[in-house]
Structures are given as structure tokens and as C-alpha cells.
Amino acid sequence: MTATQQQSDNKSVHGEVNGIRPAGDRAILVELSSLDAVLSLQGQLTAHPQPGQIDVIAAAATILVTADSPQAVRGLAAHVRSLDLDARAEIESALVTIDVVYDGEDLEEVASLTGLGREAVVAAHTGQLWTAAFAGFAPGFAYLTGENPSLEVPRRRSPRTAVPAGAVALGGAYSAVYPRQSPGGWQLIGRTDAVMWDLGRENPALIRPGDTVRFNAVRAQATVTAPPQAEGQPAQDDALVPGAGLIVRKPGLQATVQDLGRPGFASLGVSSAGAMDRGALRRANRLVGNAERAAGIELLFGGLELEALTDQVLAVTGAEVPLEITPGTKAEHTTAARHPACDAPFALLAGEKLTIGNATRGLRSYLGVRGGIGGPDALGSRSTDTMSGVGPEPLHSGTVLPVQVAKPGSVVGHPEVSPLPHQDQPTVLRVVPGPRQDWFSNDTLQDFLNQEWTVTPQSNRIGLRLNGQSLSRSRDGELSSEGTVRGAVQVPPEGQPVLFLSDHPVTGGYPVIAVVVHADLDKAAQLPPGSSVRFAAAAPPAELPETLKETSHA
């Protein structure tokens, strides 16, 4: 693989803002007149971030901008309206050259669809410069636009369940390289050994938005082994106490390391991830004297068994679970079992075992450890992202968890009261209009709000899949992929909504009928399969700027 990079000039652009739509209470979706306008706005917001700005997610004709508060969103909407989108984007760009063996499974099909021969397809693909318009789908996956439309082809009618890493593909007006094995419906024309995503590099993504790409045809490639940390972590944290920590004896159904996530990398295709019930993790950290962002353990339905390698101070919050401490194989003294309470700090001495039983109310529990779980981080976070594969693997039997040194002066907290929702009645989640609410009739909107939805067993950290009376669209056709937010309620063609949660994809192609307000998302994280959910219209964000009111919809 040859990958060379050099600075390239920005192109002149032309475009304007067609509309600004609310996307929840902490984001806006900006509709733009052209891809040039998308690139200009993306470049200006990236080069000059506004107060409270978190992520800028570009797509074919939109940009989603997320912020840390409703106040910041209002300021961003006004700022976007003031920008000159005929100006050149102030971004660093580079030329990336990628060697490709053109022997893809769909090369013959692409030749037929375009009316070109196989050699002409290769010539067209290598004979033009491609621009990385935006990222999405997976970390390192860049949507590349070409200089001519000769290779525009439809996606496969039946997507593959597994496309190999390094596959070079065409889909619609775009070309791309798959960074890791994943499902996909693009037409495969070749393969490369280029490592598209490597956390060991200063810039993990080989191709970043704004870069230009040239493909170079080669006859054969030597097999290049990806660096051991290509999908994983930098070196271990040297601040850890040698030998201190916990060891997992039983991981339960699913246990992962989580902190408050890695916001700010959605432009590279990386979601924020982090704890599903962030309030519960913050509470666990307060109880053991940690900063709120410290990493702990998130577990599903309980079932976790840990043994202390050295004395620890712990707290368990979130779902209501029974706790039991028993002497372990290395305990110096035999003592009777203890049963500490949830939402309160307790000691786990060296050699003792903590068993977290099955949840009796709620779904996810959080284990805080004084000092915080250590180990390597990825993009500034220790969170496990189950969709993208960024972060540590889920815990398994035998996993050793290092524990960091508690900060001097930090103290454990007082017991607190859990705010778990009652499960004998439907959980009410407040929503504001989604950016694509106008894809649905008023009757369908009322059906969405009036009925009770049931959480299905197919739900996970990516989203809650809900079952109820199907919602029908009032528009034909498909929506181009665009940025999505945590809390977005998408409606696929079959009409059963999906509520996006922590590990959701950064872009999606289904219309968003509503967005759950930020304050209610912790409740959604605690809903087990079979739970009932109702959506209630929240009061619209107060004092929206006039520029946003003009383009929002009822």
C-alpha cells in the first residue's frame, strides 16, 4: 500500500442555507443548496468553533450541528445564518494516494451498468480526483465524490452481510473504502491494503473530510498486517498502581467499561458512546469520590462477579440489584457474607468477591470504583463502543481491571436515592419535533403520541426497537443519509420506530419523526424488553431565534 499526503488547494464554492430545522433540544439540521455549500459550512464551523459547539456532521445536502445546551444551539443557528457560504473553507486538506487491485466481485456488473468495459471502469476510477465530502457509517469510512458522473451506479438490491476490510466500492454518486469488515450494499470493484482507521496514528482516519484521493491501479499487493492497535488503544496508562485492581470472575450478560463518552469525533464516523444512563454513572462516581467523567463498569441485567486484588471502595447505582460480598480464594480471613446497599459506598477488601445479582427493577447497573477504572483510552475516552469497535472489548472471565490512584483530598459521598422509573406503568419520554416530522401526516403524528409502544428484545446500546401500530409516511421516496443525534426516533419503511441511544450511527437514512429531550434519555436506558413507553410532546424550545423559527415545522 502506498499512501502519500500533500497539501491541496481548496476549491471555490457556491451555495446558501435553504433551511434550519431543530433536531432535538441540543442540535440543528442545516439544509444547504449544494455539496459545495456543505463543505464551506463544515470548514468554517470546524476552523472557528462557536461556544458550546460539539460535533459538525456533514452529509450530501445537510449538516447536523450538536451543542452542549439549548442556549448554544440558538447561538449556532444565528451564526450559521450570518456566514458567507461562497467563501472558501478554511480547512487543511491533503492528497491521499491509494493502491488498488481491481478484481472486485461487482466489477463486471458495474461495467454493464455504466456501459463501460472493465478496463474503462478502472480507467475512470483512477483517472479522476475524488474529494472526501463527509464521513459516516463507520470510523474511517469516507464518502468520496468524483469529478464526473460516469461511475454513478445504484447500490446492490441485496446487501452483503459481510464486506471485507479494504474493499473499494461504488454506491450512487460516491466511492469509498470499507475500513473494517461490515455489512454493505455498495458495488465492489477492488481491494486495497491501506489501513483506513488506526488509533495508533496522530490522525486515525487516513482520509478526512476535505481531503482529495487518487486511486492507483496495481496488479498485486503484498499482504500487510495491520498494527496490533489499529482498532484498539494507545499504550497503557503509566499512572496506574502496579497490581492494583479487580479481576472479573463472571461477566454476566454484557459488561463494558464506560465513561461519559467521546463527543467531538462524529465527523470521523465515531459516535460519542459512553454510559447509557449517564446520571447513574455520575452518581456512582460521586459516591466513591471520583470526578464525574471517571470510567466505571456498565452491566446489563446484573450477573457480574468481581474479585478484589487489593482493597477497593465501590458503589453500585442504576438498576435495582442485590449485592453480596463473600470471601474469595485469596481472602486472608473467613468472614460472613455481607450485603451492601445500592446507591451507597462500600469497601471490597483484597480477596473478597462481589456478586451483583439479577436486576429486579431497571435494566443497567453502574459500578463506580474509587480512583476510576484505568487502562488505555481511545480518542480521550475509555468507553466501549459496541457498534464501531472503538474502545476496550466487553469484559470476560479473567479480565483484569486496573484502578487509578484516587485524587488527593477526594472524599466518598453520602448515600443517594435512585430516580429509577416505575415499571408498573408506561414510561413517558418527552419529545420535540424531529427534523423530518413533515414526512408524516398529522394523523400519523397523533398515532405516534397517543399509543403505547413496547420495547422489543432486539434493543441494545445502539437503540430501542419499539413495537406498536405501524407509522406510515406521507411522502414517497427515500431520504438521503444525514446526521443523527442520541434521542432521535427514526421510522424505517416497516413503520416500527427506533430510538437511537449511545452507540447509534452518526448518520442515518430514515426520517426522524421526533427527538427525545436530553433530560429524559437516562430513563430510556433503563427500559428492559417488554416495557411500555409513551411519547409526550414537550414544550418547544423557548426563544428560538427568528432565523430558526422561519424554517422549523409544526
- The pLDDT, as a whole number, for residue 480 is 83
* pLDDT of 333: 56
Q: Phi-psi region for residue 523, left (φ > 0), alpha (ψ -120 to 50) or beta? A: alpha
Give the model confidence (pLDDT) of 378-428 as tens digits: 999 999 998 888 999 999 999 999 999 998 888 898 888 888 867 778 999
Q: Where are the extended beta strands (E) located within 273-360?
A: 296-300, 304-308, 312-320, 323-327, 346-348, 352-356
| pTM higher than the cut 0.75 | yes
DSSP 417: -
- Residue 150: what are its φ and ψ, rounded to 5°? -65, -20
In the block, cell 406503568 appears at: 425
Q: What is the pLDDT along the chain (554 residues), one digit of tens a residue?
A: 444 443 334 344 456 899 999 999 999 999 999 888 988 898 899 889 999 999 999 988 999 999 999 999 999 999 999 999 887 666 677 999 999 999 999 999 999 999 999 999 999 999 999 999 888 778 899 999 999 899 999 888 777 888 999 999 999 889 999 998 888 889 999 999 999 999 888 889 999 888 999 999 998 754 444 444 444 444 444 444 555 799 999 999 999 999 999 999 998 889 999 999 999 999 999 999 999 999 999 999 999 999 999 999 999 999 999 999 998 655 555 578 999 999 999 999 999 999 999 999 999 999 999 999 999 899 999 999 988 889 999 999 999 999 999 988 888 988 888 888 677 789 999 999 999 999 999 999 999 999 999 999 999 999 999 999 999 999 887 788 899 999 999 998 889 999 999 999 888 888 999 999 999 999 999 999 999 999 999 975 544 443 343 344 33
Q: Residues 171-174: contacts with CB within 8 Å, 24+ apart? A: 173/145, 173/146, 173/149, 174/133, 174/143, 174/144, 174/145
Picking from 46, 45, 36, the residue whose alpha carbon sits closest to that of residue 16 is 36
C-alpha cell at 239: 499512572
For 108-154, the pLDDT digits (tens) are 999 999 999 999 999 999 999 999 988 877 889 999 999 989 999 98
Residue 312 · residue 348 · CB < 8 Å: yes
* Beta bridge partners of residue 274, listed in sequence order: none
pLDDT tens profile 310-341:
999 999 999 999 999 998 655 555 578 999 99
Half-sphere exposure of 408 (CA within 13 A, CB side): 0
CA angle 291/275/70 to nearest 5° reads 85
pLDDT score at 466: 97
Residue 438 has a pLDDT of 94
